[in-house]
Amino acid sequence: MALRNITVRGDEILAKKCKPVKAITPRIRVLVEDMTETMLAADGVGIAAPQVGVMKRVFIAMPHVESEDEEIRNKVYCMINPEITYTEGTQESSEGCLSVPGYMGLVDRPQKIRIKATDLDGNEQEYEFEGFEATVFCHEYDHLDGILYPDIAKEMMTAEEYAERLEEVKEEHAES
């Protein structure tokens, strides 16, 4: 396994649509291993192939970061040729991205999604996610179509502005 460089906003590769994976080859397996190592080293909860310079429809996600169950918290989902097949509701999410360092944005995302994808063993899987988990999967899925969250955010702010806003909200809740 190896750490890969993370492509940042402004690189044209992040604005392109990825090509489907035709076969799960040893090269795809190495890509997924490297993406996992890169995501973990960067403290991310997901990363898509174009973020490491590969134009394939592959992303990984680790959306259960707040679970108290260590096995669930450390589960990494590998999505090859994913397709979101169902969405329900709307939620406002605060999003950051390894390819857009130092910024946060407010994005409207589905509250609930159903997604199907091929796993590393070549089996088609289907999953349902809600809340934060749905946001993570939608965010990574967008990368495969050349969409970065700032492209669809209704508001952008620096990480420092976001931290200040969170502090204000905490103080308001403490007073009530």
**Cα–Cα distance for residue pair 159/161, rounded to 1 Å:** 6
What type of residue is 160? E
**Cα–Cα distance for residue pair 97/104, rounded to 1 Å:** 8
Q: In this structure, what DSSP letter does residue 104 have?
A: E
Nearest to 58 by CA among 91, 20, 96: 20
Catalytic option among 92, 140, 155, 175: 140
140 is catalytic: yes
Nearest to 155 by CA among 114, 115, 95: 95
Residue 176 pairs with which residues in a beta bridge? none
| 140, two tokens | 């990574």
Active-site residue list: 140
